[in-house]
Structures are given as structure tokens and as C-alpha cells.
Amino acid sequence: MRKRALLSVADKAGLPEFARGLADRNYEIVSSGGTARALEAASVPVRRVAEVTGSPEILGGRVKTLHPAIHGGILARRHLSGDLEELDRQGILPVDIVAVNFYPFEKKVAEGSPIDEILENIDIGGPSMLRASAKNFKDVLSVTDPADYALVLSKLDDGVDLATRLYLAKKAFRASACYEEAIASFLARLSAEADTLSIGAEPETKPETKPETKKDETDSSFPSRLVMSFEKVQDLRYGENPHQAAAFYRDADPRTIAVAGARQLHGKELSYNNILDLDAAWRLARELPVDRAAAVVIKHTNPAGAAIGDSLVEAYVSARATDPVSAFGGIVALNRDVDAKTAEELKTTFLEAIVAPGFDEEALAILTKKKNLRLMTIEDGARAWRGSNLCRVLGGLLVQSWDQEGTEERFEVVTQRAPTESQEPALRLAWIAAKHVKSNAIVLAKGDALIGVGAGQMSRVDSSRIAVEKAKSRVEGSVAASDAFFPFRDGVDALAEAGVVAIVQPGGSVRDEEVIAAANEREVAMVFTGRRHFRH
């Protein structure tokens, strides 16, 4: 008995060769629309879906394959005589292979197509057929990736084993799930006002509640069930430690940018820890003033240095000077294309990776002499903050919005003395950096550079002491930032005693008055921002 293959693909890569291979193996090819036309143009024998169903395509092609003659042939269980008898009574032939991929919905979104065009590219028939075939995988091969065409043809010659059928079914349902998630994510960005659809950046919200809605129901920007789709970039040699397996995934959105879309120009393969540090470095670098050159040195996701300058080499030298010992083996992020002068300085310290918008030819010639040094280029923009910030816990997932605030927050003077005009830029720099330091965080700055960082301590006074120790003799006349309020005055006392003259902090402690009094006693200026920036 001749077998039947149903082909309906948006991605035509490898289609004629695959279809010819099936025809050579005595498969009848059934198709519709653009797939049928592509096969006819390639002189591959094809039977139109409308001939099989006895129904024409309707609604401008919206309905083609949604028919019992199609889905009955896919879903019939070959081991049940009742199913086969039912097919026979209805004059339906079984379908043995379904090769489907979907309308280019995500491509249309990425291109910024009109909303109606995007919505028209929500595939209905394709996912329905693919899911039906994957459900019946013991009898039907579900093929959604052109990369699997050769595998399928070879297995047809040798006999298709259950493991192959299961592999293809898993891939089919995964493709369907990713497609549905992409649609749901796009719809979450739509808003409907005055009967008009528009695309915005606002999170998903429920429509206005009706009077009869229960009072305990609350609106939320997060869905009741979270489905996410990421595509694998690469397997990694290992995770944080050699005994841990790891891989790197990125948003499935083709517009992916920032570290997940970075391009490696040179050096060893990236490790799990490299990627974490690159992300930390770029996040801080992109928040520093764009009108000046900026450099960041990261060690174990914490800033070991940061500075701005009139030239990139000046900024880098100052950033490295924050903590030269910790800069060894660090990762550097720069906000300008790397030139030869900066490259000469970069090569004098052992670094794991450098990320920048670009490298000129001379800089590349200098830095590529270091065989293992990873050189990365990166695209940036507001889209880097798409989606939510995720953190796994055992048995669950924490989801929050990104902490995008902090660079323009208003400073409220709460002490008798206000910061001087020359101290305010240093306070701004320290405040931006503190947001990127593990809590509890205390950051010291002087002029255009950080001079000491106290990170990740269990008490804020210990972070204060570590920051002072790191700064050594440079503390006198410096300023400090604290990512959260001072719970006691001891941290302020430690900073003032070392020579700090101005402090920025969120405020909000029950002991704020005591802390402010300590600053006044020490003649230290203090400003509140009203917003904390924990980084756990």
C-alpha cells in the first residue's frame, strides 16, 4: 500500500530534495498553498490538499487543512482495528509523515510589521497538524526542522525505530510550545484603547474589572502561568565548577542583543563564569555617562573598578587603578571602540575577556597576540531590558522587573552641609556603581573613578571597612554610596573617620535621624535618593 506524506512548510530550505526523496520511496506527496507551488516548480509530483478533502481553500487560505480527511488520517491509531475501519468507511487514507513548520510570526514581529500583518501570520493549521502527528508519534513521523530531513530519509531505508519517532515528537511539541509562547508574549505587549490596537512596552494587565468581580482578586503584571522560550547558543565545557554541566541560551527573539547577542572575535571559548562576568560588566558600562569614555573592570560579577575620562585609555587606567590586584584575571567593558593606545594598556594585565562596541585594526593586531584573550563586540539599546529578570530556586522561579532605575534619581540633601559642586559627579558615579555591587554594598569614589568597593558582606559596617581598606591612602576627600540605608550610625562613623566627606544612600531606616546626626557631627554631607538598589 502506498504511503502518504503531508508537507506544509513556510521554510522551504531543503524541501524539493526531501520531497523527491519521499517520492522515490513511493510516498504520495500531499500539500497546499505555497508549498505545493514550490514542489510543482521543482517538478516534484504533488497532490493538492483540496483534492484530498474535496473542499476548496477558503477565507483567503485561512482554512485549508482543518478537515477530517486530513486530521483523521494523521490521528488514526494503526493498532486499533476500529480506527482503521472508520477511515475505510469515510474514504480516508492514513498519513504517515507530516512535515510542517510555521508562518514566520516571529520574523514579522522583529521586522516591526503592521499589527494586522503580524496577527495574520499566526499559524493555525500548521501547529494543529504537527501536534496531531506528534501525539500519534508511534505511527506518524512529525518533522518540523529541515535539518532532520536527511535523518528521516535514512531511517525510512533502515526502518524507523521508536527512539527516532520519540525524538521527532519531542522536537515537534517543543517547536509548537515556543511558537505559542512567542504569540502570547506579543499579545502581552498589545494594548486596546478606543477599539484600536497598539504596541507598547507595558507589562501584561487584565482588563478593567467588573463590579461583580470578587474583592480579593488583584490585578497583576505577571501571568498566572509562565511559559518561556529560549534557544541554545552553545553547550559549555562546564558550569560554575567542573563537575556541573551547563549550556548558554538566549531569548528566541531574533532581535536578541547585549551579551546574549555578543560576537566573539578572538580567544578561547567562553565559560559559564565568563558570560556572567561579561553581563555584569556590560550592564554597568552601559549606565555610565555616554558623553564620556568609560571603563569597567569586573571580578566575580562585582565591579573591581570603574571610571570615566576624556579618552578611553585614561578611563581604563583609572578603572584598573581602583583595585589593581583584583583586576588580574578580570573582565573589562568599554563604551567606545578600542584604539591602539588603549590596547597597549589592556595587554599589560592578564584579562579573561574584553567587551566593547568594536576594535580598530591596530587594537586587534595588538590584542590578538594574546592567544586566549576573549575579544567581544556587542550591540546595545533599550531592548536589552526586554522580558523579566529570572532567578531559579529549588522547586520554583522568582520573577521581577529589571532594575533599570538609578542613574537619574534626585538627590535630597538631609544634612547641614550639602555636597559641593565638584563632589556631586563623584557621588553620581558611586551611586550608579553601587547598584551593580553585591549587597551589602559600599562604594567609594573620587573625581571620575572608583577608589574602593566593599561588596557582599553580611553587615554594612563591614562593607564600609573593606571599601576603606581597598582605597588605602586615597580615602581622604572621597565620597561614598550605599546601596541601601544605614541601619546604624557605625557605617557612617567608619567612613567619616577614614576621610569620606559626602555620602549618598536611599534613606528609610527607623534610625535615619541617628544616622543623619552622625553625619552632621562629622561634617559629612549626606543625600537621600528614596530608592534602594539591592543586588542579591
Catalytic residues: 135, 300
DSSP label at residue 129: H
Cα–Cα distances (Å) from 247 to 233, 243, 451, 474, 517, in that order, read 8, 13, 36, 42, 51
**Helix 149-158 and helix 15-24, axial crossing angle in degrees, nearest 10:** 10
DSSP β-ladder status, 442-446 and 449-454:
antiparallel
Angle, vertex CA 263, rays to CA 257 and CA 269, nearest 5? 125
Contact 275, 248 (CB under 8 A): yes
Task: Give the whole-angstrom CA distance, residue 292 versus residue 289.
Answer: 6
* Buried/exposed 459-496: b ≥16 CB within 10 Å, e otherwise: ebbbbbbbbbebbeebbeebbbbbbbbbbebbbbbbbb
Cell numbers linked to 193: 484603547
Strand partners, 309: 293
Q: With the C-alpha atoms ordered 266, 269, 275, 280, is the resulting torsion angle positive or negative?
A: negative
Cell numbers linked to 164: 527516532
Cell numbers linked to 246: 551547563
Write down how long the chain is: 536
**Helix 125-135 and helix 68-75, axial crossing angle in degrees, nearest 10:** 30
Task: Give the whole-angstrom CA distance, residue 429 versus residue 443.
Answer: 9
* Buried/exposed 142-176: b ≥16 CB within 10 Å, e otherwise: bbbbbebbeebbebbeeebeeebbeebbebbbebb
The single-letter code of the amino acid at 170 is: K
Cell numbers linked to 88: 475505510
Burial of 248 per CB tally in 10 Å (0-12, 13-18, 19+): middle
Cα–Cα distances (Å) from 272 to 240, 370, 472, in that order, read 6, 21, 33
Dump the DSSP string for 134-189.
HHTTTT-EEE--GGGHHHHHHHHHH---HHHHHHHHHHHHHHHHHHHHHHHHHHHT
At a CB cut-off of 8 Å and minimum separation 6, what does 187 contact? none
Contact 484, 377 (CB under 8 A): no
DSSP β-ladder status, 3-9 and 27-31:
parallel
Can you state the percent helix, strand and coil of the chain, rounding each to 5?
A: 40, 20, 40
Bond prior to 302 in cis (omega within 30° of 0): no
